[in-house]
Amino acid sequence: MDLDPQKRPFADEIWNILGEWNDNMESSDNTSKIKNQFLDADKIVKTLPLNLPKHSDFMYTSKIINTKKILIEINASRSMDFVEMPNDL
């Protein structure tokens, strides 16, 4: 996919392409190149491992975010009187 949004396809173009692929998949004609590529990919995917190895040094965990503390900090920063800076700085 191109990083430039102006060079990317519009939604209707993608819709048309996917429609063509769907028509090819639903047809009983087994000579369709696209259909054969999808069917071959399905066979390959079935042979791939389901559990990919994870790096032993990484641990993925969730943390509880203390929203009360954040709110206190926000309110404190809003209530602070701003000191006027001298003109010579």
pLDDT tens string 3-40: 888 889 999 999 999 998 888 788 777 777 878 888 89
**Nearest partner of 1 among 19, 12, 14, judged by Cα:** 14
pLDDT value of residue 82: 55
**Nearest partner of 42 among 32, 51, 53, 34, judged by Cα:** 34
- Whole-angstrom Cα distance, residue 66 to residue 58? 24
Residue 21, helix vs strand vs coil: helix
* Mean per-residue pLDDT, 64-84: 77
pLDDT value of residue 85: 53
- 32 or 67: whose pLDDT is higher? 67
pLDDT value of residue 42: 92
Question: pTM value?
Answer: 0.40
- 85 or 5: whose pLDDT is higher? 5
